[in-house]
Structure 1
Amino acid sequence: MSYREPYNPFGGGFTYMPPVIKNLLIINVAVFIITDILAIREVRNYILMLFALWGVDTPYFWPWQLVSYMFLHGGFFHILFNMFGLWMFGVELENYWGSKRFLSFYLITGIGAGVIQLIVQALSGSGAPTVGASGAVYGVLLAFGMMFPNRIIFFSFLIPIQAKYFVIIYGAIELVSGLTRSGSNVAHFAHLGGMLFGFFLIKYWQKGGDFSRWWKQFIASVNQPAGAPKKGPTPIYNMPGTGKSDTKPSSGEAKSDAQRLDEILDKIAEGGYAALTAEEKEFLFTYSRKR
């Protein structure tokens, strides 16, 4: 898979790769080396027993497995294709969304894929453990198709196709495979679960939803003493003699950054990330770290 235009997420080097993608690649590869290359069979089996995703009706299930299973893989090609997909579609998404939003999307779609897999296992009676980041990666694929629907991707390295149709084709393949290959060791419905959770999460964000606001309100309610009056919004004070807020950035500066970001994103939509200058890549990288 590649873009019609040369697409180089690394930009000026590995340091320009957005931090979440870079750290996910490092963590997944490190875990694979430890569990599949260095560890003896008994140690690997113990790790799988604790951190792979087991069915809820087995004695091995623990809630944390809904996160930990994403960092284990079943072989070299399993991790290779997952990390390739994460790199291919995730770099531009993280640059577009910012690191915090991308990380929350990745984890939520991975957890959602795990929940769907647990439901399917309970209905089918399968007790085999599930490993791999595929559910989250399929969520990232779905997001790429929604954010950049007209971007050209080469299907099977040969056929140019718009990203939105590429996503539909892969979703259809997973649905048919899940319905016709019930005995397969590939978690097709987990892949669909990642796409499903990704779709609803993006729609939620597009309508102005914000999970972080709920979390902040929850923390505030926990830290507030019983019977204490609710705190109002924190006032913004001006420094004497300046007439300007000491906590709020000037609207001109914020507007300038927003306008520049829009221009850069338009440029990415037209020619891909490789079309940016080194200075534009640096601005986008710095801006994404602030979000």
Structure 2
Amino acid sequence: MDSPSDPTQEQPLQETPREPILNLPGALTAYIALIAAIHLRVLLPDEWDNYVIDLFAFVPKRYDLTLLDAAFPGGTPAKLWTFVSYSLLHANLTHIGFNILWLLPFGSALARRFGAVRFYLFMAVTAAGGALAHLITHEHELAPMIGASASVSGAMAAAMRFAFVRGGFLSFGRGDADAAARVPALSLASALRNPRVLGFLAVWFGVNIVFGVGDLTPGAEGASVAWQAHIGGFLTGLLLFALFDPIPHVREDAAPALPSESADS
């Protein structure tokens, strides 16, 4: 007969399960849920749906000083809110899915790092940066622009500042999701000297220009792709990241061994 187990006998340690790297933080889940809820507008009669687009989409022609405010619904206040509200509207489920696909890794890391308030403000600011770039390059354009691509691009640019750092979520030696999102970021100058960051930049700009000029973006359905807005959002996120980042950066002169994983190779 088996003897009862000795409570003093050593038991094997059980490893705490690692949190999945793509387990969505609440801020990103709420952002995606908001986009999905707003897309229910497609269930409205066509004239109502068109009114929602006219009221909340970004239309460069709205800023034509030769027109009266009454030419577009919302008047002068809409000239302000459409810099952000357009980013919550989408053409179809494919359009939403394509943006969410890129938000899963990059938006998750950014939401964990920033927290909800900073994350939402950052998405709004990068949306505005994308709208401004679109306005500059499409003056007097009457076609409405919608979609979160500029904000998604900004999130990708911001995440790039810490994604390749040792322990970051795109590094080989990453930790759990929270730890990977909170590693000290590279300074902008260091990021622009990092081979992995430069490679990411080259691929990102190349893909956006090819897909944008060729109208190949999934969900566009023949509509013109506002690739200039993507670039505007990306540059806004890249340049303004430090204003939102709550994690202290590593001083290169104080800790030269930590800046990036490239030191390992």
1:76 aligns with 2:115: no
Counterpart residue type for residue 85 of structure 1: W
Tell whether the 8 Å contact from 2:114 to 2:245 is kept in structure 1 after alignment: no
Q: How does 1:48-127 map to 2 (within 5 A)?
A: 48-55=53-60, 56-57=63-64, 59-60=71-72, 62-122=79-139, 125-127=140-142
Counterpart residue type for residue 35 of structure 1: R
Instruction: Give the structure 1 partner of residue 200 of structure 2.
Output: 166
Deviation at 1:118? 1.2
Tell whether the 8 Å contact from 2:56 to 2:81 is kept in structure 1 after alignment: yes
Name the Cα RMSD after superposition. Answer: 3.3
Q: Are the structure 2 counterparts of residues 143 and 69 from structure 1 closer, same or farther at C-alpha, using a change threshold of 3 Å? A: same
CA distance in 2 between partners of 1:90 and 1:205 (Å) = 14
Classify the secondary structure of the residue corresponding to 1:73. Answer: coil
1:44 aligns with 2:57: no
Would you tell me which structure has more helix in proportion to its own residues?
A: 1
Deviation at 1:129? 0.4
Instruction: Give the structure 2 partner of residue 131 of structure 1.
Output: 146
Counterpart residue type for residue 198 of structure 1: G
Tell whether the 8 Å contact from 2:122 to 2:244 is kept in structure 1 after alignment: no
Instruction: Give the structure 2 partner of residue 193 of structure 1.
Output: 232
Q: How does 1:201-212 map to 2 (within 5 A)?
A: 201-204=240-243
Aligned identity (percent) is 28
Counterpart residue type for residue 26 of structure 2: P
Instruction: Give the structure 2 partner of residue 255 of structure 1.
Output: none
Tell whether the 8 Å contact from 1:145 to 1:167 is kept in structure 2 after alignment: no
CA distance in 2 between partners of 1:178 and 1:84 (Å) = 18
Aligned length: 189
Q: State TM-score, norm by structure 2.
A: 0.62
Deviations 1:251-282 (A, max 9, x none): xxxxxxxxxxxxxxx9xx9xxxxxxxxxxxxx
Tell whether the 8 Å contact from 2:163 to 2:171 is kept in structure 1 after alignment: no
Q: Are the structure 2 counterparts of residues 86 and 165 from structure 1 closer, same or farther at C-alpha, using a change threshold of 3 Å? A: same
CA distance in 1 between partners of 2:33 and 2:212 (Å) = 31
Deviations 1:27-80 (A, max 9, x none): 000111x212x2121111111111111112263263211111011001111011
CA distance in 2 between partners of 1:201 and 1:139 (Å) = 9
Deviation at 1:7? 5.0
CA distance in 1 between partners of 2:245 and 2:46 (Å) = 47
- Using the TM superposition, name which of 134-143 and 196-205 deviates more: 196-205
* Structure 2, unpaired ranges of 5+: 1-18, 73-77, 173-194, 216-221, 248-257
Q: Are the structure 2 counterparts of residues 168 and 105 from structure 1 closer, same or farther at C-alpha, using a change threshold of 3 Å? A: farther
Deviation at 1:8? 3.8
Q: Are the structure 2 counterparts of residues 108 and 8 from structure 1 closer, same or farther at C-alpha, using a change threshold of 3 Å? A: same
